[in-house]
Every structure is written in C-alpha cells, then in structure tokens.
Amino acid sequence: MRFVTLRVTARPAVPVPTHGNHGKGDAMATVTEPGAPAVLPADARGRTAELAAIRALALDGPGEKATKAQRARGKLTARERIALLLDEGSFCEAGQLRRHRASGFGLADNRPYTDGVITGWGTVEGRTVFVYAHDFRIFGGALGETHAAKIHKIMDMALAAGAPLISLNDGAGARIQEGVSALAGYGGIFQRNTRASGVIPQISVMLGPCAGGAAYSPALTDFVFMVRETSQMFITGPDVVRAVTGEEITHNGLGGADVHAETSGVCHFAYDDEATCLAEVRYLVSMLPSNNRTPPPAAPTADPASRRCEALYDLVPADGSRPYDMRAVIGELVDDGDFLEVHEAWAPNVICALARLDGQVVGIVASQPKVLAGVLDIAASEKAARFVALCDAFNIALVTLLDVPGFLPGVDQEHGGIIRHGAKLLYAYCNATVPRISLVLRKAYGGAYIVMDSQSIGADLTYAWPTNEIAVMGAEGAANVIFRRQIAAADDPGAMRAALVEEYRQELMHPYYAAERGLIDDVIDPAATRGVLIASLAMLRTKHADLPSRKHGNPPQ
C-alpha cells in the first residue's frame, strides 16, 4: 500500500482511498474526503490543494497495476483513447468526481472517482463533439446507476447542443452488484439513442467486450467501429451458446470485428489497431454535419470542378456482361479520388460511400459489377436503404450510379423476404428529400432500375451514358419470352433467336429510348460526368421539399 502525503495544512486530515478496481492496489492520500466530518483546510489555498490531490487520484485511476493489465490485453486506457480522438488539449471532463452510492456486496468500500466512465466534450478539427469512454480498469467498465447517470447527462447535453456523440465502448455489461438499477441505466441510454436518432450523428467505437443488452446501444447508433482481436459484440456469449446448443466457438468467432463487418452487418468499419480506428472516426466526423439542421462541412479542394475524366472510357467496358470495379469509377469522379466506404465488407455487391464533389459532401450508392454482377439481394437492399436514410437525415445529397441487372433470383432470397427487404430501399429513396441524382452507366433492368432512384420515384435529375440499356430485362431474356413460339417453330432456332434479340435491342434498348420518353434528363459524355454532377448539385443545393403531415411512416420490415 502506497501513501502520498500532501503538506497543505497544519490541521489533521482524513485519508482518502483511491479505491482501485475490485478494491485491489488501493492508495492513500492525506486529503479530506468529501462529506467526512473532519476539519477542512481553513483557507482557499488549502482547499484548492486538496482539490488538486483529489483530481490527481481521479486522473490516475486505479493505479499502474490495472493500467499494465489493460495494456497486456492490447488496449489503451480510456484517457489515452480520448486524447487520440479529440484535438489536443480540447477535452473538458464532466462528472470526474462522481462516485457510486451502492453499498451491497463490498461496494461501500470500493468507490473510485469517475465510477468507471469518463464523460465530457472536446473538438474534432475544431468542431464540438461529446464523448463518453468506459474505463475497463474500474469495475471492468461495468455500468451501474451512477455510471449510467453520467452517460445520460452527456447524451442529453449532446442533443441539446446539437453536436455529434461518440461512445468509446469497453465494458463488461451491467454491474451485477447493483441489480435492476444497472439494467434501468441501459434503458435510459437506449431511450436517448432513439430520441437522438436522425438529429445528431451517433458513433459507437467498440474497443473491448460488449455483451448482452449493452450491445443494443451501438445497434441504435449511426455507425459502429470495431478493432480486430480486442473487441467483441454478442447477446449471449460462447459459454451460453455452448450450454444451450452444444456449439463450440470463440469470442472472436462469435462476435469479433470481422464477423460483424462481413457476416452480420452490425459493424460498419473494422481496423487492426485502436490508433487507426480512432483516426478514421475523426475522418468520418469531418464528413458529417453537427446535426440535422446544418449542412455537412465543406472543404476546399484543388481538384477542378471541370476536370474531364477520360479514364472512364476504358474503366467501364461497353459489353454489359464484362465486370469492372465501380470503386475505380467513384475514385475518378470524386475530389482527389478520396472516399470513405461504409460497410465495405458486408453486401459488397452494392457500394455505399461518403465523398466530396467540389468540396461538398455527397453520399454515393453504386452497383458493384465486380461482385454478383451488381445484383440487388436482401443484404444489399438493407445496406443501401439504411445509408440512404442516413444521408437524408443529415442533409447529404445522394448520387446513385447504376449498373444493375436486377434482383438476385433464388428460393433462399424469396423465402428470406427479398420483397420486403427490397421495399426498404424503395421506401428510403421515396422518402428522401435531399438532392438526388442518378446516373445509368450501362444496364438498368427491371425492378432494380426503379428501386435505385429512378425518375419515377422522385430523383431530381437522371442521366445516362451512351452505353446505357434501360429495360424490363436483358434482350436475351426478353426475346425468349416474347418470341418463344417463333423461335421454337424456326428451322434454325439459334439464328432466329439471335435475330430477334438484336431486333428487340434496336427497338427498345438503344441508349436514347429512355431519353426520348423523358425518363432520363440527358445522355452525357462519360468524361464530362464530374462536371455535370457538380453543376447539378450546385443548382439543387437550395432544394426544399415537404413530406405529408404525419407522425411517422411505417417502413417495410
């Protein structure tokens, strides 16, 4: 046991324990404990020195032993994480001296300052954000009544101030010793997550375990970041899974970063280390508005708005059956080729990304012909629908790039509810009031063409390249349906089919068919696409659209 003696007054003082995690490694400082009956220092200097000693204990936390244990797990401390996230010297802590008031199961003798969560506000690139960070060194970051009250307060402050809320999660769930009070604390967090949804950006950064009901708070937020190997999320852990189903699985196998980034879709971004993860959180914040009443932050760019994109002629093959990487197209169009892809590893047949065009933030939804030919399926529909809703909530204009052959056929898709899941994307676009521009690069067939922001569901401007084919289905499939009898009766069915396919293509699928009927606004030179998009978005920047008066819609489930 170590002692720190502060000679701040000649009068006797009361030792104050630092109360390390689980009561181990306690240190003592000869300062007056708040609320103790002892005689306090007589003057302001003495009181201020006493405050400094108490604050030092709060900043130090449970001591070096607990810090070493945290680092042995490959994790930073809560304060180190906040320092990486926020601009240097900008953090203002709230509730640093709060301590729990529970008394059962040994808690009365273990009352550390902060109660295992650090809350406050600071800036990211000069813009205010609010943050709370679990301190795993204290009670394993478990949530109790006081811990929850601190989070509730900072969430309320973020909503009132209209500033983003970032949670740095590294906690062991509800504090069992506090019983139902801890569970009620989670309820308060969930209620505030829901109230803030679509009003301020909410970002969850998973830097350790998150189990049970605690996992629902990140699921209610706009973005979830995870770090490989050290962060996990699940409702029931491996031990419960083993007991109930007999399945053997590790923590990372059940709820690790890659599982949630690739399989479940719970995680939007996964990184190898905390420093990279927090740097990317800062980058995301730089692309988002502070709240739903302000536009996204613009940024100066040296990339000319009129820059021609000659590379697009070769990036996109005219043959609709040949795959290509839509990421290369996006990189050619946006400022400096820089964009942030959301949910990159989940449902990769559709791309959702934040980028800038002439310094203005846009949300890009694009088919990915490199994966499953760019078809829409259940996961892709859900991914794009939520991204469209997010952009609409935060005043981010939408650009949709189409090269889509339709919805993925199959028994699994139909039984899995492709109808209702596809309707989510349709609903999201129809409900969006932000500027919306769609561009058909090559093919756009069937219901997928309609769903991906066609003019008929409210796109403000629709463009197409000279390579576009907009139709109910591909020419081969259409000819097989329309001319089935003629093909079957022909002496040479193959030749007849080829001739009829070409006839259908020339009549109904030539690049100007949709333009002639006003279903697209213009057919444009691919190399001029960047300039056309920028000019169109500039015109639409003052767009205002009202939705019908209603409490809320009832989106497809």
Q: In one letter, which amino acid is 276?
A: T
Answer for the pair 249, 241: CB distance below 8 angstroms, yes or no: yes
Residue 327 vs residues 285, 309, 334: alpha-carbon distances, Å? 22, 14, 11
SS3 of 341-397:
EECCCCCCCEEEEEEEECCEEEEEEEECCCCHHHCECHHHHHHHHHHHHHHHHCCCE
Answer for the pair 118, 133: CB distance below 8 angstroms, yes or no: yes
The two tokens of residue 447 are 């219901």
Specify the 3-state DSSP secondary structure of 158: helix
Answer for the pair 267, 224: CB distance below 8 angstroms, yes or no: yes
Residue 525 vs residues 309, 440, 467, 503: alpha-carbon distances, Å? 10, 12, 10, 26
Q: How far is it, in rounded angstroms, from Cα 505 to Cα 469?
A: 9
Residue 554 vs residues 139, 424, 428: alpha-carbon distances, Å? 42, 10, 11
Q: What is the largest CA-CA distance in the chain?
A: 114
Q: Nearest CA to 393 among 343, 432, 339, 352? A: 432
Q: How far is it, in rounded angstroms, from Cα 216 to Cα 531?
A: 43
Answer for the pair 397, 360: CB distance below 8 angstroms, yes or no: yes
Contacts of 1 (CB under 8 A, 6+ apart): 26, 27, 28
Catalytic residues: 212-213, 447-448
Q: How far is it, in rounded angstroms, from Cα 465 to Cα 440?
A: 6
Q: Nearest CA to 20 among 50, 61, 62? A: 62
For residue 418, the surrounding DSSP H or E stretch is helix 418-431
Q: How far is it, in rounded angstroms, from Cα 475 to Cα 501?
A: 6
Radius of gyration of the chain (CA): 29
Contacts of 136 (CB under 8 A, 6+ apart): 70, 75, 78, 170, 171, 172, 208
CA atoms within 13 A on the CB side of 225: 27
